[in-house]
Amino acid sequence: MEVFIPYENRKINVETYLLDVLQFHLESTPYWQRNLTKRKIDELVSSDFKETVYNLSRLEVNQDLLRTRWQEFRPRNLKNTRLSFSSGTTGPQKYCLWSEDYIEIQANYLAYYLSKRGIMLKNAIIQGPTSIYKEVYEKLVNKLGGDPYFVGLRVEGLKPIIEDAAKKGEKKLIKVLKEYFAIEIQKTKRLLEYDQDINFMRSAWMMLAFFEEFYGDKQNIKFVMTSGLGYSPQNHETLKQKFERVIASYGYFAFGDALGKYVNGNLDYYPAFPYAIFTAIKEDGEIAKYGEEGHPLFIIARKDLLLILKENNEKAKRIGPTEEFPWDGIRNPKRKLPQ
């Protein structure tokens, strides 16, 4: 199957690409040396892409290994890597490695699609964990011609705080976050007051509520990119009334951001294919049909990282290719706030 990759302006043969990645990890990566063989690789990759995705879904990795034995997924000859980790807001942190090449790929993917959507960036505030996230977004902002201001958010130990506050409702949760991130909120406001050329902000959707004096036609922030636990089409519709452009994303420590598109009241997310492949798995283990709901399955297929991960605490619909994104995505992923 050949697929055109718009953000790289090239066509790829997906079967050839996947065979190459699988063979590389068979030769180089401790975990996959124990779990793959040459014969098995040949059986996994079919001319029918849906069948290939189903076959790869059988290799789902236990996510606990990414908390305690993540080094087993590092290719032995891999150099110039960066440690990526999950936020820890929904469970114990998980870890993996990214290469410098993939950091560049992720920044190029974001820059291409943000430009296509009319993001005319000057300078930007990026809020988030101090990790790969910081490097990707600094590169992104530079590619779009601006200067980035990074405000690190302390996420360690946040999970029990979120769980306790969420039991009392969204208003209580936002109040608790305002207290927890008081220093970071103050720093962000000072930056917005200092540099009138800041017109773009990347942050969790709940954090945006703390900067409303900087919204509007005569204020700084025109464009926002946002994501986060509990983000929904309803939240997106509300934010659309406040900004010139709102870009939704689905953030994940192993592949970065998958950009969202708001279509007929739905949030559709498409990753940086072929480095990440999305589908949905039904309870019986079968691939969902287009429009059917299942658990999101992510196939991360790169030379620096091979993972097949299913989000058992989340549901989403499988959706098909579009002209903008000529590969599968997921619609309206839902993970309930902790109860």
The pLDDT assigned to 131 comes to 82
Q: What is the pLDDT of residues 159-216, one digit of tens each?
A: 677 777 767 777 787 888 888 899 999 999 999 999 999 999 999 998 998 998 887 6
The pLDDT assigned to 337 comes to 53
Decide if 45 contacts 299 (C-beta within 8 A): no
Measure the CA–CA gap between 133 and 148, rounded to whole angstroms: 12
The pLDDT assigned to 77 comes to 83
CATH number for the domain spanning 216: value is: 3.40.50.12780
The answer to whether position 93 is within a domain reads yes
The answer to whether position 214 is within a domain reads yes
The answer to whether position 207 is within a domain reads yes
The pLDDT assigned to 218 comes to 57
Strand stretches in 245-335, DSSP E: 245-252, 256-263, 266-270, 276-281, 293-301, 306-310, 315-319, 329-334
Domain membership of residue 126 as a residue range? 2-334
Based on the structure, what is the number of domains in the chain? 1
The answer to whether position 339 is within a domain reads no
**One-letter amino acid identity for 312?**
N
The pLDDT assigned to 147 comes to 96
The pLDDT assigned to 168 comes to 75
The answer to whether position 181 is within a domain reads yes
Cβ contacts of 186 within 8 Å, gap of 6 or more: none
Measure the CA–CA gap between 141 and 126, rounded to whole angstroms: 9
Compute CA 290 distance to the chain's CA centroid, rounded to the nearest angstrom: 21
Spell out a b/e string for 198-212, using b for 16 or more CB atoms within 10 Å of the CB, else e: bbbbbbbbbbbebbe
What residues in the chain have per-residue pLDDT under 70?
89-91, 156-157, 159, 166, 216-218, 336-339
Say how many residues make up the chain. 339
